[in-house]
Structure 1
Amino acid sequence: MEIENGIRLHSARGRWVVLAAALGSGMAMLDGSVVNVALPHIGADLGASLAALQWTVNAYLLTLAGLILLGGSLGDRYGRRRVFLIGVAWFALASGLCAIAPTVGVLIAARALQGIGGALLTPGSLALLQATFHPDDRSGAVGAWSGLGGVATAVGPFLGGWLVSGPGWRWIFVLNLPVAVAVALLTVRHVPESRDEQATGRFDVPGAVLAALALGGVTFALTEAAEGFSPAVAVSAVAGLLLGFAFLRVERRTPEPMLPLGLFSSRLFSAVNLVTLAVYGALSGVMFFLQVQLQTVSGFEPLVAGVAFAPVTVLMLLFSARSGQLANRTGPRLPLTAGPLIAAAGVLLMLRIGAHADYWTDVFPAAVVFGAGLTLLVAPLTATVLAAVDVRRAGIASGVNNAAARAAGLLAVAALPLLTGLSGDQYRVPSAVDSAFRTAVLICAGALAAGGLLALLTVPGKPAPAKSEPDATWYCAATAPPVDPGHECPGSTAETP
């Protein structure tokens, strides 16, 4: 059931609903932004190998990417508030397990559980706004939600660095517990329940399971191959590819698939998702290696390393809306071509970050140029994905694009250490890290440039028709495109974690 007419944004209840949704999504966003800062300290404390640190990041991304579309469908069927609350509680309990993990194996398992909670929580936060507010206020509610999420993005690295330097890395997970309690109380008290009464049919559980297993198989093969080739690597790689093929066959035959393959009949939708894979893969790879480089090679304290690239977030908060408006006037080709190329230039400037790096002369310029490229790119990328399909399918198109971004990050973090020759405990050796970082920078810059070239060749230069053109107004993070699976979300292109 939808809320009759909807509540108004400027009412007291409306403000509480926005706060509950923003705190919920912000909790997951904050967690994602601080874990990379903590990786060197997690490794030292738990005696973890580089592969274990990769899994600390990827276990979360694996379950999140595989289940996020299913999570949105569960909310539509069984109640968006109910599923959102389950996601909040699940995420909090998994965070508590992360905080007390005695070994890196337990930490990795807990991070996978966090991803399941995130798959229920992340799409639910935006779906609550869509279902709860009056149609005239939905864009404003999403904008307010997005702005609050931007605050979480900006504060996250600073808070994470402070916690790692002070109380310790476990506190980045403890922090989620009081936030989750606050979100649950606000949601129970102020957020009305809603569901899609027309949602019928079976859930695509086989598709979700096959997607997660396929990604898991390929990720395991890439991660373990860095330690040397083995029969387990070969079996995992083959199994992952076969499961991926099985997933496509299931999606083609399922009446209500998690991934409607018909979306890819749009040449533009297919092309922009390939650009998404290149851009978000490079972004995740850079951020994974950058924190290790700053702390192990440059000798930055976690607090300084955490806020080193704050200019990226600041630029996106200030100028992403204008970037979306520019794309509406000129067409998406210009920003989708220039954005990745400028970001690639920013990545190449990171080659200046070495053993004696100075923040203002070596790190800050790279952050500004990289942030300028992402600011020019992210909003038009999201808008173009939504404009590539019929308006009624905008929600699922956005969800697919988000899943593509998560999968790209997952595979990048798994593959880059293999491609750069970093393995074992070498992440503690400055010379080994520095060499691997420079190779990773070149690979990521190449991926961004390839994304820009692909956009130049495939994306139209003229603005999309007005009837299907999304309102590219609000963006607050670069972690992934927006998620609202199964929902048309007029005027909403806000970023989510």
Structure 2
Amino acid sequence: MVKPVIAERGGAAAGDDARNGERAASVRWALAGLSLCVLLPSLGISVANVALPTLADAFGAPFQDVQWIVLSYLLAITSLIVGAGRLGDLAGRRRLLLGGIALFTLASALCGAAPTLWLLVAARAAQGVGAAVMMALAMALVAGTVPASRVGGAMGLLGTMSAVGTALGPSLGGGLIAGFGWRAIFLAGLPLGLLAFALARRHLPADRREDRDGTTGGTADGTARGRAGFDGLGTLLLALTLAAYALAMTMGRGAFGPLTLALLLAAACGAGLFLRVEANAASPLIRPAMLRDPALGRGLAANALVSTVMMATLVVGPFHLSHALGLDTGPAGLALSAGPLAAALAGVPAGRLTDRFGARRMTVAGLAGMAAGTVLLSGLPAALGAALGVAGYLAPLVVVTIGYALFQTANNTAVMTGVRPDQRGLTSGLLNLARNLGLVTGASAMGAVFAAAAGDVATAGAEAVASGTRATFAVAAGLIAAALAVTVAGRRARPGQTADGA
């Protein structure tokens, strides 16, 4: 009578192993779908930038008009990403992500078929709406998809795919335009979008009621709180405020003319009005208590500061390589790919280090690496820089980029693992917003620092450009020091967490 029992237990164990194997495979495919949801929006930015000269010729339009192909996409992402995250928390993140992928894919087809410039701009804006949903919810869905012990690795994978999209865009766009024309850079997103939709639909776990912020409960002050709703007015005010700020930074490009000042004033007024509306809203987009969470606030602040510094590498790099080091366009472009390539290679190892040593500890380590790289770039004498050549610039730049990959993975993990399940979409949106605001601010502010130190870049000599580079990275080193101070000051863990974020 013992043998059948043993056989039955063995069969049950085999069945459990098979189910565990199926779950592990489903998690891997789900991560593949989420990775595409990060890759496609990154490609959407970088692949279009390289096509602007071709599009200007194709439509016979000036650059001031053609740049809206990029601006409309970026504005849609920046202004809507927080609202998209919040809507995912309320309506279901998986459901909304599928809608965002479908919109992005359909808009890609419309971009490829657009007969006029302004229809292309409109289609790009729609593509940006889909990209905002994908970026906000991909990271939010990680915590509910993978085991807690592997969240850091999954965040590192998403960071890798973002870097791959940034690095791959220029070369992929150039090849597609040369071989098939400009429409191919948008139509290439169709098969990837369809694949992302299929993987997400098949393998992402279903939305759970307990993960939604729609239950009845009490507030911190003891008053009753009914079923949560979507804050349409707050979302609109925030979108308009962010759009005004992004336009001021991108169109002004560091020059504070009347239009830039008017947009900044509008953004400041919009921010004040938004805070007032949120304080009185029954179901605010962003709860005041959430903003008072020191761990979240410090994570967002550090994210914005670090992203400002990373934009400095993109603003200064082309000028330093071509004017100070004398590289032609081709070699300079190849050298610039070293940064995104380093970030892509460092993403997955950064996730594993975060899982092993803790998010807080690795956040500080990443910032320390960035500080070392920026100090080297700011203190490199002109004579030594000329003697070392391209390697003297790229080596510390790679250190900065690897530090950024480690920081981004660890900081995102620390923030996302410390929030309630029903706020993951909103928190992911806030993290992405902080990053985007840092990028648009860096493009303007760090570009202004470089121009002030180097003078007129068109006529500046090698020494003047090298001086501008050193000044820009001296400011960048100060920003990293501020981010490091903010992070170290916030090492106190949330209740229930260890000091390193485990």
| TM-score, scaled relative to structure 2 | 0.72
Q: Say if 2:354 and 2:410, in contact at 8 Å, map to a contact too.
A: yes
* Deviations 1:204-223 (CA, angstroms, capped at 9, x unpaired): 22222212211222333344
Aligned-residue offset at 1:203: 0.8
Deviation at 1:249, TM superposition (A): 1.2
Following superposition, the deviation at residue 28 of structure 1 comes to 2.0
- The residue type paired with residue 164 of structure 2 is A
Specify the alignment match of 1:242 in structure 2: 269
- 1:447 is matched with which residue: 463, 476, 479? 476
Q: How do 1:186-205 and structure 2 match up within 5 A?
A: 186-191=199-204, 193-196=206-209, 199=214, 200-205=227-232
Q: In the TM superposition, what are the counterparts of 1:262-341 in structure 2 within 5 Å?
A: 262-290=289-317, 298-301=327-330, 304=334, 307-309=337-339, 310-322=341-353, 325-326=356-357, 334-335=364-365, 338-341=368-371
Q: Does 1:251 align with 2:278?
A: yes
User: What are the within-5 Å matches in structure 2 for residues 122-141 of structure 1?
Assistant: 122-128=135-141, 130-131=143-144, 133=145, 137=147, 139-140=149-150
User: For 1:408 and 1:33, how far apart are their aligned partners in 2?
Assistant: 17
Question: Matches of 1:96 and 1:383 in 2, distance apart?
Answer: 34
In 2, distance between residues paired with 1:376 and 1:148?
Answer: 12
Among 220, 231, 236, the residue aligned to 1:209: 236
**Further displaced range: 85-94 or 102-111:** 102-111
- Tell me how far apart the structure 2 counterparts of residues 396 and 322 of structure 1 sit (CA, whole Å): 26
Q: Does 1:467 align with 2:496?
A: yes
Q: 1:78 touches 1:195 (CA, 8 Å); kept in 2?
A: no
- Would you say the 8 A contact 2:77–2:128 is kept in 1? yes
- Asked if structure 1 preserves the Cα contact closer than 8 Å seen for 2:35 and 2:161, the reply is no
What residue is the counterpart of 1:82 in the other structure? 95
Letter in 1 for 2:432: N
Q: Is the 8 A contact 1:383 1:469 kept in 2?
A: no
State the one-letter code of the partner of 2:265.
V
Compute the displacement of 1:87 (Å). Answer: 0.7
Matches within 5 A, 1:37-436: 56-99=69-112, 108-128=121-141, 130-131=143-144, 133=145, 137=147, 139-140=149-150, 143=153, 146-147=156-157, 150=160, 153-154=163-164, 157-158=167-168, 160-165=170-175, 167-168=177-178, 170-191=183-204, 193-196=206-209, 199=214, 200-226=227-253, 231-290=258-317, 298-301=327-330, 304=334, 307-309=337-339, 310-322=341-353, 325-326=356-357, 334-335=364-365, 338-345=368-375, 347-348=377-378, 361-385=391-415, 396-418=426-448, 420-421=450-451
Asked if structure 2 preserves the Cα contact closer than 8 Å seen for 1:336 and 1:377, the reply is yes
What does the per-residue CA deviation read over 1:408-443, in whole Å, with 9 as the maximum and x for residues that have no partner?
Answer: 212333444555559xxx99x586999789647733
Separation in 2 of the partners of 1:57 and 1:154?
19
Indicate how the Cα distance of structure 1 residues 78 and 276 shifts in structure 2: closer, same or farther if over 3 A, else same: closer
* In structure 1, C-alpha distance between the alignment counterparts of 2:305 and 2:207, rounded to whole Å: 37
- Contact 2:39 2:162 survives alignment (8 Å): yes
Shift of residue 253 of structure 1?
A: 1.9
Distance in 2 of aligned mates of 1:288 and 1:99: 29
Larger Rg: 2
* Separation in 1, partners of 2:230, 2:201: 26
Sort the Cα spacing of 1:430 and 1:8 in 2 relative to 1 into closer, same or farther, 3 A: farther
Equivalents in 2 of 1:287, 1:421: separation in Å? 14
Higher helix proportion (structure 1 or 2): 2
Whether the 8 Å CA contact 1:80–1:128 is kept in 2: the answer is yes
Aligned to 1:25: 38
Q: For structure 1, which segment, 356-365 or 241-250, has the greater mean C-alpha deviation from structure 2 after superposition?
A: 356-365
Q: Structure 2: how far apart are the matches of 1:48 and 1:308?
A: 33
SS in 2 for 1:194: coil
The answer to whether the 8 Å contact 2:108/2:123 transfers is yes
CA contact (8 A) 2:81 2:132 kept: yes
SS of match in other structure, 2:44: helix
Identity between Structure 1 and Structure 2 (%)? 25
Change (3 A) 1:451 1:126: closer
For residues 493 and 67 of structure 2, the distance between their equivalents in structure 1, rounded to whole angstroms, comes to 40
Q: Could you tell me how far 1:91 is from its partner in structure 2?
A: 1.4
CA distance in 1, matches of 2:34, 2:298: 32
* Distance 1:342-1:381 versus aligned 2 partners, 3 A rule: farther
Contact 1:214 1:240 in 2 (8 A): yes
Q: What is the CA–CA distance in structure 1 between the aligned matches of 2:115 and 2:321, rounded to whole Å?
A: 27
2: CA distance between counterparts of 1:227 and 1:153? 26
CA distance in 1, matches of 2:107, 2:422: 35
More moved, 170-179 vs 101-110: 101-110
Distance 1:192 1:393, change over 3 A: closer
- Match of 1:167, SS state, is helix
Q: Which amino acid aligns with 1:28?
A: P
Letter in 1 for 2:310: L
Cα deviation, 1:282-335, whole Å, max 9, x if unaligned, reads 213432553576679732338625633212332343345326645568586x53
Higher mean alpha-carbon deviation, 280-289 vs 316-325, is at 316-325
- Please give the alpha-carbon distance, in whole angstroms, between the structure 2 residues aligned to 1:406 and 1:433: 32
Deviation at 1:107, TM superposition (A): 5.2
How many Å separate the matches in 2 of 1:35 and 1:295? 23
Number of residues of Structure 1 aligned to a counterpart in Structure 2:
458
Q: By how many angstroms is 1:180 displaced?
A: 0.9
Q: Are 2:360 and 2:410, in contact at CA under 8 Å, matched by a contact in 1?
A: no
Q: How far apart are residue 407 of structure 1 and its match? A: 1.7
The worse-fitting range, judged by mean Cα deviation, of 382-391 and 315-324 is: 382-391
1:11-22 correspondence runs (5 A)? 11=23, 12-22=25-35
The one-letter amino acid paired with 1:92 is T
For the residue of structure 1 that corresponds to 2:496, the secondary structure is helix
C-alpha distance in 2, partners of 1:471/1:54? 44
Residue segments in structure 1 that go unaligned for 5+ positions in a row: 1-6, 473-490, 492-497
What amino acid is the match of 1:344? Answer: T
Residues 105-124 of structure 1, C-alpha deviations (whole Å, 9 max, x = no match):
65554443222111222233
1:117-141 Cα deviation digits (max 9, x unpaired): 112222333445555x5x7x46548
